Amino acid sequence: MKALLIILDGAGIAEEEHGNAITPRSMPYFFGLMREHGHAVLSSSGPAVGLDEGAVGNSEVGHLTIGAGQTVPSVLTRIGAAFVDGQWEQHPLWGEITRHGRLHLVGLLSDAGVHGHWSTMLQAAALAARHGVDDIILHPLLDGVDSVQGSAPALLERLAGEMEKVPGARFGVIQGRRAFTDRSGNLEITRSFVRALAGGDGLPEFLWQTLDAHYPQPEADFPAHLSMGGWHWRRAKRF
Protein backbone atom coordinates (compact mmCIF):
# COMPACT_ATOMS: atom_id res chain seq x y z
CA MET A 1 0.00 0.00 0.00
CA LYS A 2 1.32 3.44 -0.90
CA ALA A 3 0.50 6.70 0.80
CA LEU A 4 0.99 10.21 -0.48
CA LEU A 5 1.17 13.25 1.80
CA ILE A 6 -0.09 16.39 0.04
CA ILE A 7 0.15 19.69 1.90
CA LEU A 8 -2.11 22.48 0.62
CA ASP A 9 -0.59 25.61 2.11
CA GLY A 10 -3.30 27.90 3.46
CA ALA A 11 -6.16 25.46 2.81
CA GLY A 12 -8.53 24.36 5.53
CA ILE A 13 -12.01 23.06 6.28
CA ALA A 14 -14.52 25.78 7.13
CA GLU A 15 -18.10 26.80 6.50
CA GLU A 16 -18.81 27.92 2.95
CA GLU A 17 -19.01 31.69 3.08
CA HIS A 18 -17.64 34.78 1.36
CA GLY A 19 -13.87 34.65 1.22
CA ASN A 20 -13.56 30.88 1.65
CA ALA A 21 -11.92 29.55 -1.51
CA ILE A 22 -11.78 25.91 -0.39
CA THR A 23 -15.33 24.62 -1.02
CA PRO A 24 -17.01 21.67 -2.83
CA ARG A 25 -17.89 24.07 -5.64
CA SER A 26 -14.33 25.32 -6.16
CA MET A 27 -12.63 21.93 -5.62
CA PRO A 28 -15.22 19.25 -6.50
CA TYR A 29 -12.70 16.48 -7.19
CA PHE A 30 -10.86 17.07 -3.91
CA PHE A 31 -14.06 16.98 -1.85
CA GLY A 32 -15.25 13.98 -3.85
CA LEU A 33 -12.17 12.04 -2.76
CA MET A 34 -12.90 12.90 0.87
CA ARG A 35 -16.49 11.69 0.55
CA GLU A 36 -15.43 8.48 -1.18
CA HIS A 37 -12.48 7.52 0.98
CA GLY A 38 -13.22 9.26 4.27
CA HIS A 39 -11.19 11.92 6.05
CA ALA A 40 -10.29 13.34 9.45
CA VAL A 41 -10.15 17.01 10.39
CA LEU A 42 -7.13 18.19 12.38
CA SER A 43 -6.87 21.43 14.34
CA SER A 44 -4.24 23.86 13.08
CA SER A 45 -4.40 26.58 15.72
CA GLY A 46 -4.13 27.05 19.47
CA PRO A 47 -2.77 24.40 21.86
CA ALA A 48 -3.29 21.60 19.30
CA VAL A 49 -0.21 22.87 17.42
CA GLY A 50 1.71 24.30 20.37
CA LEU A 51 0.28 27.82 20.36
CA ASP A 52 -1.55 29.75 23.08
CA GLU A 53 -5.32 29.46 23.36
CA GLY A 54 -6.97 31.41 20.54
CA ALA A 55 -3.76 31.93 18.55
CA VAL A 56 -4.15 31.45 14.79
CA GLY A 57 -1.93 28.88 13.08
CA ASN A 58 0.76 30.02 10.66
CA SER A 59 3.54 28.74 8.43
CA GLU A 60 6.09 28.84 11.25
CA VAL A 61 3.98 26.34 13.16
CA GLY A 62 3.87 24.09 10.11
CA HIS A 63 7.65 24.11 9.85
CA LEU A 64 7.91 22.74 13.39
CA THR A 65 4.85 20.52 13.61
CA ILE A 66 4.34 18.71 10.30
CA GLY A 67 5.84 15.25 10.57
CA ALA A 68 6.83 15.64 14.22
CA GLY A 69 4.26 13.13 15.46
CA GLN A 70 3.62 15.22 18.55
CA THR A 71 2.64 18.72 19.64
CA VAL A 72 5.67 21.01 19.58
CA PRO A 73 5.30 24.09 21.81
CA SER A 74 6.11 27.29 19.92
CA VAL A 75 8.95 29.53 21.05
CA LEU A 76 6.44 32.21 22.08
CA THR A 77 4.51 29.70 24.19
CA ARG A 78 7.71 28.52 25.87
CA ILE A 79 8.73 32.11 26.63
CA GLY A 80 5.32 32.81 28.17
CA ALA A 81 5.49 29.65 30.26
CA ALA A 82 8.99 30.52 31.49
CA PHE A 83 7.71 33.95 32.53
CA VAL A 84 4.74 32.52 34.44
CA ASP A 85 6.54 29.69 36.26
CA GLY A 86 9.57 31.79 37.23
CA GLN A 87 12.26 30.13 35.11
CA TRP A 88 12.95 33.32 33.20
CA GLU A 89 13.17 35.39 36.37
CA GLN A 90 15.67 32.96 37.91
CA HIS A 91 18.10 33.05 34.98
CA PRO A 92 21.65 33.85 36.20
CA LEU A 93 22.13 36.47 33.47
CA TRP A 94 19.98 38.92 35.41
CA GLY A 95 22.81 39.42 37.88
CA GLU A 96 25.08 40.70 35.12
CA ILE A 97 22.35 42.93 33.66
CA THR A 98 21.59 44.45 37.07
CA ARG A 99 25.23 45.42 37.57
CA HIS A 100 25.14 47.49 34.39
CA GLY A 101 21.98 49.30 35.49
CA ARG A 102 20.58 49.72 31.98
CA LEU A 103 18.81 47.33 29.60
CA HIS A 104 17.96 47.85 25.92
CA LEU A 105 15.10 45.68 24.61
CA VAL A 106 14.47 45.32 20.87
CA GLY A 107 11.29 43.50 19.93
CA LEU A 108 8.56 43.14 17.34
CA LEU A 109 5.49 45.29 18.00
CA SER A 110 3.08 42.61 16.80
CA ASP A 111 -0.02 40.89 18.08
CA ALA A 112 0.13 38.16 15.43
CA GLY A 113 2.58 35.98 17.36
CA VAL A 114 4.23 34.68 14.18
CA HIS A 115 7.77 36.01 14.57
CA GLY A 116 7.29 37.77 17.88
CA HIS A 117 4.78 39.47 20.18
CA TRP A 118 4.76 42.83 21.90
CA SER A 119 4.07 41.19 25.26
CA THR A 120 7.54 39.62 25.30
CA MET A 121 9.16 43.06 25.49
CA LEU A 122 6.85 43.98 28.33
CA GLN A 123 7.60 40.75 30.22
CA ALA A 124 11.34 41.35 29.90
CA ALA A 125 10.93 44.94 31.09
CA ALA A 126 8.90 43.83 34.10
CA LEU A 127 11.53 41.26 35.09
CA ALA A 128 14.31 43.81 34.69
CA ALA A 129 12.48 46.19 37.01
CA ARG A 130 12.03 43.41 39.59
CA HIS A 131 15.78 42.82 39.50
CA GLY A 132 16.48 46.48 40.15
CA VAL A 133 17.44 47.71 36.68
CA ASP A 134 16.92 51.48 36.79
CA ASP A 135 16.84 52.31 33.07
CA ILE A 136 14.86 50.04 30.71
CA ILE A 137 14.69 51.22 27.10
CA LEU A 138 12.27 49.58 24.66
CA HIS A 139 12.89 49.80 20.91
CA PRO A 140 9.74 48.46 19.18
CA LEU A 141 9.85 47.33 15.55
CA LEU A 142 6.57 48.03 13.78
CA ASP A 143 5.27 44.86 12.15
CA GLY A 144 3.92 45.57 8.69
CA VAL A 145 4.10 41.94 7.58
CA ASP A 146 2.31 39.63 10.01
CA SER A 147 0.06 42.08 11.87
CA VAL A 148 -3.03 43.69 10.40
CA GLN A 149 -2.17 46.77 8.35
CA GLY A 150 -2.75 49.95 10.33
CA SER A 151 -2.59 48.28 13.76
CA ALA A 152 0.68 49.93 14.88
CA PRO A 153 -0.87 53.05 16.52
CA ALA A 154 -3.21 51.01 18.71
CA LEU A 155 -0.41 48.61 19.65
CA LEU A 156 1.90 51.52 20.52
CA GLU A 157 -0.82 53.00 22.73
CA ARG A 158 -1.36 49.68 24.47
CA LEU A 159 2.35 49.04 25.00
CA ALA A 160 2.88 52.56 26.31
CA GLY A 161 0.00 52.18 28.74
CA GLU A 162 1.44 48.94 30.11
CA MET A 163 4.93 50.46 30.31
CA GLU A 164 3.64 53.10 32.71
CA LYS A 165 3.29 50.29 35.26
CA VAL A 166 6.98 49.33 34.92
CA PRO A 167 9.39 51.60 36.87
CA GLY A 168 12.20 52.95 34.72
CA ALA A 169 10.71 51.82 31.38
CA ARG A 170 10.83 54.25 28.44
CA PHE A 171 10.85 54.23 24.64
CA GLY A 172 14.05 54.60 22.64
CA VAL A 173 13.84 54.17 18.85
CA ILE A 174 10.72 53.27 16.89
CA GLN A 175 11.18 51.92 13.36
CA GLY A 176 9.92 49.42 10.83
CA ARG A 177 11.10 45.82 10.89
CA ARG A 178 12.85 45.91 7.53
CA ALA A 179 16.14 47.31 8.86
CA PHE A 180 16.21 44.65 11.55
CA THR A 181 15.19 41.68 9.40
CA ASP A 182 16.62 42.65 6.01
CA ARG A 183 17.53 39.64 3.86
CA SER A 184 18.55 41.47 0.69
CA GLY A 185 22.23 41.48 1.58
CA ASN A 186 22.40 45.27 1.58
CA LEU A 187 24.51 45.86 4.67
CA GLU A 188 23.81 49.58 4.59
CA ILE A 189 20.22 48.84 5.65
CA THR A 190 21.46 46.87 8.63
CA ARG A 191 24.06 49.51 9.47
CA SER A 192 21.34 52.15 9.56
CA PHE A 193 19.59 50.10 12.24
CA VAL A 194 22.79 49.85 14.29
CA ARG A 195 23.47 53.57 13.96
CA ALA A 196 19.93 54.36 15.03
CA LEU A 197 20.28 52.32 18.23
CA ALA A 198 23.69 53.88 18.89
CA GLY A 199 22.16 57.34 18.61
CA GLY A 200 24.38 58.34 15.72
CA ASP A 201 21.77 59.39 13.17
CA GLY A 202 20.37 62.55 14.76
CA LEU A 203 16.92 60.99 14.76
CA PRO A 204 13.82 63.21 14.62
CA GLU A 205 11.17 63.22 17.30
CA PHE A 206 8.39 60.70 16.88
CA LEU A 207 5.27 62.24 15.35
CA TRP A 208 1.91 60.50 14.94
CA GLN A 209 1.41 62.39 11.68
CA THR A 210 4.41 60.63 10.13
CA LEU A 211 3.01 57.24 11.05
CA ASP A 212 -0.49 58.13 9.82
CA ALA A 213 0.87 59.44 6.51
CA HIS A 214 2.54 56.09 5.85
CA TYR A 215 -0.61 54.00 5.77
CA PRO A 216 -2.06 55.20 2.43
CA GLN A 217 1.13 53.75 0.87
CA PRO A 218 1.07 50.07 1.90
CA GLU A 219 3.69 49.10 -0.67
CA ALA A 220 6.27 51.39 0.93
CA ASP A 221 8.46 50.42 3.85
CA PHE A 222 8.22 52.42 7.05
CA PRO A 223 10.17 55.67 6.59
CA ALA A 224 13.43 56.69 8.24
CA HIS A 225 13.88 55.72 11.87
CA LEU A 226 11.77 57.69 14.29
CA SER A 227 13.15 58.54 17.69
CA MET A 228 11.13 59.28 20.77
CA GLY A 229 14.19 60.66 22.58
CA GLY A 230 13.00 62.68 25.58
CA TRP A 231 9.45 62.82 24.27
CA HIS A 232 6.71 62.75 26.91
CA TRP A 233 4.12 60.11 26.04
CA ARG A 234 1.30 61.52 28.13
CA ARG A 235 1.51 64.94 26.49
CA ALA A 236 1.68 63.53 22.97
CA LYS A 237 -1.13 60.99 23.31
CA ARG A 238 -3.88 61.30 20.73
CA PHE A 239 -6.79 59.63 22.51
Catalytic machinery residues: 59
Rounded Cα distance, 64 and 66, in Å: 6
Rounded Cα distance, 1 and 17, in Å: 37
Let me know: does 151 contact 119? Beta carbons within 8 Å.
no
| Partners of residue 109 on adjacent β-strands | 142
Closest listed residue to residue 33, CA positions, set 74, 4, 9, 69: 4
Phi/psi-derived region of residue 28, left when phi > 0, alpha when psi is between -120 and 50, beta in every other case = alpha
Rounded Cα distance, 207 and 210, in Å: 6
